[in-house]
Amino acid sequence: MLSRSFLATEDWTDEAIVALLDEAAALKADPRIPPKLHGKTLALIFFDPSLRTRTSFEVAIAKEGGHAVVLEPGKGSWAIETRRGVVMDGDKVEHMIEAARVLGRYVDALGVRSFPKESSWVEARRDAVVRGFAEHAGVPVINLESARRHPCQGLADAMTLRERLGRDLARKRFVLTWAWHPKALPVAVPSSAAIVAATVGMDVTIAHPPGFELDADDLVMVKTIAARRGGRVEVVHDLDAAVEGAHAVYAKSWGSLGAFGDAPREAELRQGLKYWIVDEDRMRSTDGGGGIFMHCLPVRRGVEVTDGVLDGAWSAAVDEAENRLHVQRALLRRLLGGSA
């Protein structure tokens, strides 16, 4: 059933992604397009909190005439064991396998959000929870953010790039920059953002301090897609040089994969890195001083980005959040509505 799911943008062809973006743009432009999903149902399982993903999916399926059920395991629905082969004599009363099989009998698709809980990146990078649901549900599964990917955010980012910079993004410079943050955050968003930027044909610069490399296989993925689409990829350690002349600056903090699960080592690596913040001077050095600022939200003001950037004309962050609704409507219509 994995093939009918949406776990990562790169699982779909470039043409399918572009078609989704086109449909999302049409839905946004024309509220008279008739709904397509009357009677269809969606279960959204949140092992971790959300504002945008939860709200935009609930609204998306409602606008299409369908209905969503939201489950938060351990808060009103049973706590779910996600490890395989364990003796369930602890506090978890239901296994992911039964939960997936049962929910798959009730609904037409499932969405699953599960951030990494493992103590090693080798384990976490398997995305075992979202992939486990996809294996057992018998209906399409949508990744609502796992350890490795946030593909719906990636779609919304790509839609926003096309809106702000034009449909022909070839040779335009997309800069993904690490930002300081008090906590180690997942790499799903930055990896997915770099992948979609390459997918829409942009030149991708990834800026981060030494020690904060993305997953090596994911970097290979970005480079492979960029080569196919005629774009270039570079990894640099100088934020000021990276943003100079950029068309888009995407800020995101992420944890060191080399220090994954090791909070003291992570804190040590972050010392002295608070200057990794996107501020007005850095945005003024972008293309014509008018590059766009991107962030998936939620964002900590004054930490990853200054108020002046977020409140200024540079910021596309709220557009990205709005576009979650449009791309997810398009995605649901493709998965459940019989579109090609």
318 sits near ligand CP (criterion: CB under 6 A): no
Q: Which residues of 153-179 are buried (b: 16+ CB within 10 A; e: fewer)?
A: bbbbbbbbbbbbbeeebeebbbbbbbb
229: which 2 tokens?
């689409």
Interface region with ligand CP, contact rule CB under 6 A, candidates 31-39, 49-57, 97-105, 282-290: 49-57
Residue whose token pair is 């080569």: 227
Q: Which whole-number Å values give the CA distances from 180 to 120, 125, 297, 306, 338, in the listed order?
A: 22, 22, 15, 12, 44
Place of tokens 């200024």: 312
Q: Which stretch binds ligand CP (CB under 6 A): 17-25, 48-56, 91-99, 231-239?
A: 48-56
For residues 51 and 241, which CB has a smaller minimum distance to ligand CP in the complex? 51
Cβ atoms 336, 38 nearer than 8 A: no
Out of 59, 97, 235, 297, the only residue in the binding site for ligand CP (CB under 6 A) is: 297
**How many Cβ atoms from other residues are within 10 Å of residue 44's Cβ?**
23
Number of residues that bind ligand CP (CB under 6 A): 9
CA distances from residue 34 to 30, 63, 136, 202 in whole angstroms, order as listed: 10, 9, 32, 33
Q: How far is the CB of 156 from ligand CP (least distance, A)?
A: 8
Among 28, 40, 52, 95, binds ligand CP (CB under 6 A): 52
122 binds ligand CP per the rule CB under 6 A:
no
**Pairwise CA distance, residues 333 & 335, whole Å:** 6
Q: Using the rule CB under 6 A, give the single segment among 73-81, 226-234, 244-252, 294-302 that binds ligand CP.
A: 294-302
Which range touches ligand CP (CB under 6 A), out of 115-123, 244-252, 295-303, 308-316? 295-303
- The piece of 14-22, 25-33, 50-58, 195-203 that touches ligand CP (CB under 6 A) is 50-58
46 vs 95 by CB, closer to ligand CP: 46
Provide, rounded to whole angstroms, the least separation between the CB of residue 195 and ligand CP: 16
Q: Which residues within the stretch 144-163 sit at the binding site for ligand CP (CB under 6 A)?
A: 145, 153
- Label residue 219 left, alpha or beta by phi (over 0 means left) and psi (-120 to 50 means alpha): alpha
Residues that bind ligand CP (CB under 6 A): 50-53, 145, 153, 296-298
